[in-house]
Amino acid sequence: MLLIKNGKINTITKGIIDNGFIAIAKGNILYVGDNEEDAIQSFGGNEYKEIDASGGYVMPGLIDAHCHIGMWEDAMGFEGADGNEMTDPVTPHLRAIDGINHADKCFIEAREAGVTTVVTGPGSANTIGGQFVALKTAGRYVDEMILKEPVAIKCAFGENPNTVYNRKQKTPMTRMATAALIRETLQKAIEYKERIEKHAHDPEKNAPDFNMKLHTILKLTNKELHLKAHAHRADDILTAIRIAEEFDIDYTLDHCTEGHLIKDVLKEKKSKVIVGPLLIDRSKPELKNLDIKAPGILAKAGIEVAIMTDHPVIPVQYLLLSAVMAHKEGMPEEDALKAITINAARFNYIDERVGSLEAGKDADIVIFDKHPLDCSAKVKYTLISGTVVYNKADA
């Protein structure tokens, strides 16, 4: 059992407590508030340890809403590049957990920077790339790190799949073909389900042969999972929305580089927007309208935003820096902090456990020496499921 005391606590969802206390037991938060006696009573008379956060700023562990940590291993060449299976444009059955190296040093760097949860998975070479997973950044191996698996299915619009398969002189070489392949796969899954159901009602009708790809896609059409739609350009963003609406599937718009140019549409559609990477150059045509002001423009338009690193494009430890720069360029403070905590959690349907400091949630907590949006702020402690996984004093 553990008591964090005397810190300025930003719960993210329930306000700020200037001098607060957090009681933790069995990996979960028991109490968050301003009464030390109530916090101690929540331990039921059992012994507990203390962390004195005096002068510090306490908030939920940071969440990277979209990255590829563990999929492209740090300091490795092709031998550690497990993010894209570029032999087939439709690979929904691939699972990130089978490609992640839990021993990648970047998980350590994530913890040191206060990042406690990462949503990671395949890249954007294929029109449908595979299944993402939400992981804690500490654990002996991947299976112990899983927060939710799968958490989403990745698809990609625009330049990336077209470039990959143009080299192979194979579909999809155009945006039309990318959209057509995604539609075809979704429709096949619907028909596959219909055949399964017909066989269930009438065993004399032949059951379809098991199809792992379509079986996976059913998780989208049944709304068990959402679609993480890689889309930079405004037209690709709108194509992603069009297809999602045609098939009535839940989705997030990941990257959404030109989203601020169509903010009225995104607000009307109530789209979930995950912006990033932000701290890069305009290295390809789709990034010509990249603007660090975009998160602030979207937030001020009433659109909820999460911020992503796309690690290793931006190293995961710079997730907070991305939010700092977005705030510097106009994103309100509250929105910038929500973008790397509760919004990232909600968009990935893991907010029942992480993303804010509330009784009953996982004790994933980071303590800074000052306000986290101060560029000079340093992490003093990182806790995952109530365990201290980083202590600056021991570093």
At 200, the pLDDT band (50, 70, 90 cuts) reads confident
For residue range 164-175, list pLDDT tens digits in order: 999 999 999 999
CB-hemisphere CA count at 13 Å for 322? 33
- What's the mean pLDDT in 333-359? 98
Report how far residue 20's alpha carbon sits from residue 297's, in angstroms, rounded to the nearest whole number: 33
Read off the CATH number of the domain in which 184 is found.
3.20.20.140
Q: Are residues 131 and 253 in the same domain?
A: yes
Q: Are residues 48 and 165 in the same domain?
A: no
What percentage of the chain reaches a pLDDT higher than 90?
95
Supply the pLDDT for residue 202. Answer: 84
Predicted confidence (pLDDT) at residue 90 exceeds the cutoff of 80? yes
- Total domains present in the chain: 2
Cα 289 to chain centroid distance, Å, stands at: 23
Report how far residue 58's alpha carbon sits from residue 44's, in angstroms, rounded to the nearest whole number: 24
At 191, the pLDDT band (50, 70, 90 cuts) reads very high
Supply the pLDDT for residue 315. Answer: 98
Q: Which residue range(s) make up the domain with 82?
A: 62-354
- Structural contact between residues 171 and 165, judged by C-beta atoms closer than 8 angstroms: yes
Report the range of poorest mean pLDDT among 17-21, 72-76, 277-281, 388-392.
Answer: 72-76
Q: Are residues 1 and 105 in the same domain?
A: no
Cα 309 to chain centroid distance, Å, stands at: 9
Predicted confidence (pLDDT) at residue 204 exceeds the cutoff of 80? no
Q: Are residues 375 and 345 in the same domain?
A: no
Q: Is the pTM here over 0.95, yes or no?
A: yes
Q: Are residues 144 and 285 in the same domain?
A: yes
Q: Are residues 240 and 99 in the same domain?
A: yes
Report how far residue 280's alpha carbon sits from residue 339's, in angstroms, rounded to the nearest whole number: 18
- What's the mean pLDDT in 98-109? 97
Report the range of poorest mean pLDDT among 7-11, 207-211, 246-250, 267-271.
Answer: 207-211
Q: Are residues 26 and 152 in the same domain?
A: no
Supply the pLDDT for residue 296. Answer: 98
At 140, the pLDDT band (50, 70, 90 cuts) reads very high
Q: Are residues 335 and 366 in the same domain?
A: no
Computed over its alpha carbons, how large is the radius of gyration of the chain? 22
Q: Are residues 132 and 87 in the same domain?
A: yes
119's tokens: 């949503």
Supply the pLDDT for residue 101. Answer: 96
Share the mean pLDDT of the chain: 97
Amino acid at 149: E
Read off the CATH number of the domain in which 376 is found.
2.30.40.10
Q: Are residues 377 and 306 in the same domain?
A: no
Predicted confidence (pLDDT) at residue 79 exceeds the cutoff of 80? yes
Q: Are residues 138 and 254 in the same domain?
A: yes
Partners of residue 63 on adjacent β-strands = 117
Q: Are residues 366 and 344 in the same domain?
A: no
